[in-house]
Structure 1
Amino acid sequence: MAHKSENNHKGSGEQSPKKPNSPYGGRGINWFYWYLIAFLVVFSIFSNVLKSTQEISWMKLEETLLAKNAIEKIIVVNKEIAEIYLKKDKLDNPEFKEVTDGLFRSDSGPHYYITIGSVETFENKLQQAQQNITSAEKIDIRYESRTNWVTILSWLVPLGIIILFWVYIIRRMGGGTSGNPLFNFGKSTAKLTEKGAKSKVTFNDIAGLKEAKAEVMEVVDFLKNPEEYTKLGAKIPKGVMLVGPPGTGKTLMAKAVAGEAQVPFFSMSGSEFVEMFVGVGASRVRDLFKRAKDKAPSIIFIDEIDAVGRSRGKINAFQANDERESTLNQLLTELDGFGDNTGVIVLAATNRPDVLDKALLRPGRFDRHIYLELPNQLERGEIFKVHLRPLKLSNDVDVEQLAKLSPGFSGADIANICNEAALIAARKKKNEVQQQDFMEARDRVIGGLERKSKIISPKEKQIVAYHEAGHAVASWYLEHVDSLVKVSIIPRGKSLGSAWYLPEERQIVTKSQFLDQICASLGGRAAEEIIFGEISSGALDDLEKVTKQAYTMVSYYGLDEEVGPISFYDSTGQYENMLVKPYSEEMAKLIDSEVQGLISNAYKRTKNLLLEHREELEKLAQILLKKEVVEKEDLEKVLGKRGLAQLINETEPQNI
């Protein structure tokens, strides 16, 4: 799609836009750095001037200077240092050239200095050294008190550098807010979208979320036409919580609200409330709501609110005080406290509602909870159409088939597939994105990148072929296992081979469906034992899935006859951090025993099924060794037609 370009040519009379003022005044912080560098240079020169005087010992003072009557006067400074000035007629003496030559040397002096222990001792020693000198030739001694700027500056400069460092750190923490950053770390860092600002995202860019979009659009209508609702006595909802798995469009929904609401929109992340200083989180909450109330009606959007909204009992078990808890307390007060909060609607998003504090979720704070679930087949088709708009597509691209082949995918996953397909087509120097590119992109997103260059020994390749053939044959002849469409022994990601299924989109799963799925997962291990007489470590992923599935059947869904209709599933998340199980040791032994028996019986059933169809197993394995990838047409030639045609809804690979 071609975009119109705007002409920004200005006339000679127009002025360029002014740059925003620096928070440090007209000259800016950069001038401050130049002033500091200049000061350090001057200070260094000044220090060299002060240090140009040479220090001598008492022996040299007595044997050289006093003996030759070269001293004009001595000035005792602060009762610590005695400055020695030479007579002008002695400066030409070669012995004293060292104190007169040089860039920072001066004839006026002082030329030497000596550190004295005490004034009385120095005077006594000097008097004894001048016993044989007449009173007219005796040295004039004066006493002065001076401020030692070198010492003071030696303390002030490091302190100034430390202060400058902290100014720089706090300036970085200011986050671009107005005013002096030194005092802005307690201010809100929310990004403000003003009324009338154009947003790139609108409700037209959101597909597959009809119910959720309708509720959010109603909130926008509240702000545009409040009198339509308040005339009947209704109150505008104070808060809307968007809940759903990652990638389902929670943040996208908030961006659309920002573009459609035509009211000031404040957006920030939950983690931005908490900084390194104590009390900053609560201060930022207060400032955020103050800014929102000043611009009411307005909307506040807090993304990933679980960063500050976790249950207070869980996060503060072993601490006397916690910054996150004080931030949450302030947030609860602002949402529904004694203060007036009219005209401000709070949107929040999270994919972990189970960890949020109950006080945060109650009506009056978040009146509406909107659940964004994974899209179904029809909704996936609508999402594909949105993400296919900017792509140059071939005529063979079938959106309905893409929707069928991507079950369980979120909107973010679909966007990733579309982008990967375009990258694959560009890599192949194509002018259009074809259906095959989407198939390769789907396989790459689910299973990982193909690694045809990975070296596998012939023996290992044979084991992988029979393993995947075992999965294929077992799933083909089991009634309740999803439809198999492709088997591959090409390494992909971390797996050495994979079997691709197209399961139905079920809302509930029966016990027989669970058992058939377990048998299909054990098909690879059973095939290895039947053909080679031993088993390998290749079934690790299968055994992990089977074990978790069996424990879920017994302890969660109550599908075991011995354990009975009992569920130990905790939807509230209260048992997450508990060190003990919610059942007794006797029940734990019974659950372990039933799970072990369930998996053992399923393994025996799978072995018997593969022994019955061993001929098809070996034939399919040989085709895999030859072609590496077997599609559905080849599977039907070897195994025959499946009994009941199944709907194509979801793809889930079984990895070795």
Structure 2
Amino acid sequence: MIENLKNSENNKISENKNPKKPSIGFNPNWMYILFILLMLLLIVINPLVKTKEISWLKFEKTMLSTHDVAQIIVVNKEIAEIYIKSEKLNDPKYIEISKNALASKVGPHYTLQIGSVDSFEDKLQQAQQNFLQDEKVEVIYQNRADWTSVLTWLLPFGILILFWIFMFKGMGKSTIGSSVFNFGKTTAKLIDKDIKSKVTFKDVAGLREAKKEVEEIVDFLKNPETYTKLGAKIPKGVMLVGPTGTGKTLMAKAVAGEAKVPFFSLSGSEFVEMFVGVGASRVRDLFKQAKEKAPSIIFIDEIDAVGRTRSKANAFHANDERENTLNQLLTELDGFGTNTGVIVLAATNRADILDKALLRPGRFDRHIYLELPNKQERIEIFEVHLKPIKKSKNVDVDLLASLSPGFSGADIANICNEAALIAARKKKEHVDQEDFMEARDRVVGGLERKGKIISIAEKQIIANHEAGHAVVSWYLENVDSLVKVSIIPRGKSLGSAWYLPEEHQIITKPQFLDQICALLGGRAAEEIVFNEVSSGALDDLEKVTKQAYNMVAFYGLDEELGPLSFYDSTGENERFLGKPYSENMAKLIDKEVQDLITKSYKRAKNVLEEHKNELLLLAKLLLKKEVVYLEDLEKILGKRTKELPLNIKD
């Protein structure tokens, strides 16, 4: 089946190699332009031929009595158009008319409001009673359509119609097709054989397991007979799931570059519109085009925009556009029709809120999880992003990867770009190691604010606070290795202690307790040194409280509660205002959290009381240098029993 479809596709491409010359057809835009030009022409010409209106007295004494009038045309029994004899136009009293060449040749030269025809005829007969018969002025009566009033009446409607036409055309270019009647057409961008994606699997660093899964799908599209001869079926859907920045969209772009088949790319939000039925219609049109170009790939980014769980609360709604779109998508993925040769790729970082019917086998058969990269994968990602950067020889990629645990591929790309910007700002020829270190600090902690004005008293509190973090963490076994301590404001923080986090898949209870104790070291140091506390520990207290509640309510690490967990992986409890436990259990959880934090705070104070001299020395050094590195820390606090995984001193 796939081979036949590929042959038909090749025939279509061969036919398209000799395209016909485009015929010049009727373009409706010319009608709009012609209408606008006509209106402008009328506006311009009207003042040129506009005649001067005069009174009956002036007409009788200056024109009629001197036999200057050639003829009079009464229009619609309302206005009398007065034409002056051509030989009389040279008279000085008609100088205004002679200046306007068009008005002087064509006429009428003057207009007169007559009131009523009977009154006008009486006045004219009385004024010409002493005239000879051949001297009397000829009067002609005409009925004319007043185009000026008609255009004035039609103009607002014309402008309104043009506005709506151009608005719909503008919408069509961006969202719904080329005209107002293309609401239901898909907006997917097609990457065909002639339009090649520049991204390949070589540009996707790390993600080895995920790449193998996706490469197999690409190989299936290229060599289907290898799999079909064994009875294997191509997967209908592949769901890429992972945190933000891990490379889901990049993986899809690489598939487009490698597959050499038509690739339809769009976002989940493009299905949802304010018009009822548009989303479902676009889904149908998308799969119709994909089947026509099969074998092909459809990529839906951020599918959670349309694939959310269908809740019972929506049952009371008369019509839910998002739900109708999802139903149509489910039907296309696993309906009565066959989708042979069409693979659907989807990406999301919120798989927990997706509808179960969307994730079941037969629709999205394969789920590929893209986790945050480990150290080796971060090294590969750094090497990819360092290729276009002119770096110096002292750049240690292994060290950069070690100092960025928990960073995604997007974060690493941001660090490399920031380092290049910092080096360019310093007018350097190459990007050095210190530029990458500064870029890493900036991405993690924010921009340095050395110019921020801080009083001496506040600076002493900050120095002792950060020294407290450093001393407590130094003497606790399960806290990450300390790299440096700074009291230079960065981002929203006034000071910071920098650690080298180790990568853990699981965390034990002693590790939790030591981390909580280290976070409380800053507040404990303030109380010991100044015998009072400040608001500077807000961020520490927020982290401690969340971590303690996680220990007690989620991880089951509290002895009093036992192995209970109230964690909701489905996210369904978020819709309800109540908690998934009783009031008595809530009081017990609060009490255990409070006891846990209080004990950790007393423990931090005991550590600082025991090493108070080191605390004061480190605070004094911080006030002097503002930044204290590992070498100075070891001079004051001694050699730490827990060795660093690499040399950070350089």
Answer yes or no: same fold by TM over 0.5: yes
Residue in structure 2 matched with residue 3 of structure 1 by the alignment:
none
In structure 2, distance between residues paired with 1:34 and 1:19: 31
- What is the CA-CA distance between 1:434 and the residue it aligns to? 3.5
Q: Does 1:192 align with 2:190?
A: yes
Residue in structure 2 matched with residue 608 of structure 1 by the alignment:
606
Q: Does 1:125 align with 2:124?
A: no
Q: Decide which of 80, 83, 97 is 1:83's aligned counterpart.
A: 80
Instruction: Give the TM-score normalised by the residue count of structure 2.
Output: 0.85
1:505-516 alignment, distance < 5 Å: 505-516=503-514
- What is the CA-CA distance between 1:253 and the residue it aligns to? 0.7
Residue in structure 2 matched with residue 243 of structure 1 by the alignment:
241
In structure 2, distance between residues paired with 1:311 and 1:398: 46
1:436-585 alignment, distance < 5 Å: 436-585=434-583
- What is the CA-CA distance between 1:631 and the residue it aligns to? 1.8
1:201-212 alignment, distance < 5 Å: 201-212=199-210
In structure 2, distance between residues paired with 1:357 and 1:429: 53
CA contact (8 A) 1:503 1:647 kept: no
CA contact (8 A) 2:84 2:109 kept: no
- What is the CA-CA distance between 1:328 and the residue it aligns to? 3.0
Q: Does 1:145 align with 2:139?
A: no
In structure 1, distance between residues paired with 2:239 and 2:340: 18
- What is the CA-CA distance between 1:280 and the residue it aligns to? 4.0
Q: Decide which of 337, 352, 355 is 2:353's aligned counterpart.
A: 355
CA contact (8 A) 1:130 1:138 kept: no
Q: Does 1:376 align with 2:370?
A: no
- What is the CA-CA distance between 1:498 and the residue it aligns to? 0.7
Query: Is 594-603 or 68-77 further displaced after alignment?
Result: 68-77
In structure 2, distance between residues paired with 1:145 and 1:304: 68
Q: Decide which of 325, 342, 345 is 2:343's aligned counterpart.
A: 345
Instruction: Give the TM-score normalised by the residue count of structure 1.
Output: 0.84
Deviations 1:440-492 (A, max 9, x none): 22222211222223332222211111000100111112222222121111222
Kindly report the root-mean-square deviation, in angstroms, between the aligned alpha carbons of the 2 structures: 3.7
In structure 2, distance between residues paired with 1:177 and 1:28: 21
Match of 2:304, as an amino acid? D
CA contact (8 A) 2:469 2:522 kept: yes
In structure 1, distance between residues paired with 2:332 and 2:223: 24
In structure 2, distance between residues paired with 1:108 and 1:208: 84
In structure 1, distance between residues paired with 2:430 and 2:79: 91
Residue in structure 1 matched with residue 624 of structure 2 by the alignment:
626
CA contact (8 A) 2:176 2:183 kept: no
Residue in structure 1 matched with residue 7 of structure 2 by the alignment:
none
Match of 2:42, as an amino acid? F
In structure 1, distance between residues paired with 2:175 and 2:558: 61
In structure 1, distance between residues paired with 2:114 and 2:232: 90
Match of 1:125, as an amino acid? S
In structure 1, distance between residues paired with 2:140 and 2:332: 73
Q: Does 1:268 align with 2:262?
A: no
Query: Is 69-78 or 257-266 further displaced after alignment?
Result: 69-78
In structure 2, distance between residues paired with 1:265 and 1:383: 26
CA 1:107–1:425: 2 relative to 1, 3 Å: closer
Query: Is 219-228 or 634-643 further displaced after alignment?
Result: 634-643
In structure 2, distance between residues paired with 1:237 and 1:166: 45
Q: Decide which of 222, 231, 234 is 2:232's aligned counterpart.
A: 234
CA contact (8 A) 2:485 2:498 kept: yes
Residue in structure 1 matched with residue 283 of structure 2 by the alignment:
285
1:156-167 alignment, distance < 5 Å: 156-167=154-165
Match of 1:298, as an amino acid? S
CA 1:242–1:23: 2 relative to 1, 3 Å: farther
CA contact (8 A) 2:48 2:100 kept: no
CA 1:308–1:69: 2 relative to 1, 3 Å: farther
CA contact (8 A) 2:464 2:525 kept: yes
CA contact (8 A) 1:194 1:265 kept: yes
In structure 2, distance between residues paired with 1:398 and 1:127: 107
Unaligned runs of 5+ in 2: 1-17
CA contact (8 A) 1:503 1:648 kept: no
In structure 2, distance between residues paired with 1:484 and 1:28: 71
**3-state secondary structure, aligned to 2:103:** coil
CA 1:124–1:157: 2 relative to 1, 3 Å: closer
Match of 1:245, as an amino acid? P
CA contact (8 A) 1:74 1:82 kept: no
CA 1:575–1:300: 2 relative to 1, 3 Å: same
Deviations 1:327-386 (A, max 9, x none): 333333322223332211111111122232333222222111111000112222222232
Residue in structure 1 matched with residue 15 of structure 2 by the alignment:
none
Query: Is 605-614 or 283-292 further displaced after alignment?
Result: 283-292
Residue in structure 2 matched with residue 5 of structure 1 by the alignment:
none
- What is the CA-CA distance between 1:76 and the residue it aligns to? 4.6
Identity of aligned residues (%): 68
**3-state secondary structure, aligned to 1:267:** strand
Match of 1:85, as an amino acid? I
CA 1:180–1:24: 2 relative to 1, 3 Å: farther
In structure 2, distance between residues paired with 1:498 and 1:231: 62
In structure 1, distance between residues paired with 2:532 and 2:165: 69
- What is the CA-CA distance between 1:176 and the residue it aligns to? 8.4
Match of 2:119, as an amino acid? K
Match of 2:41, as an amino acid? V
**3-state secondary structure, aligned to 1:300:** strand
- What is the CA-CA distance between 1:305 and the residue it aligns to? 1.8
Match of 1:42, as an amino acid? L
Residue in structure 1 matched with residue 52 of structure 2 by the alignment:
54
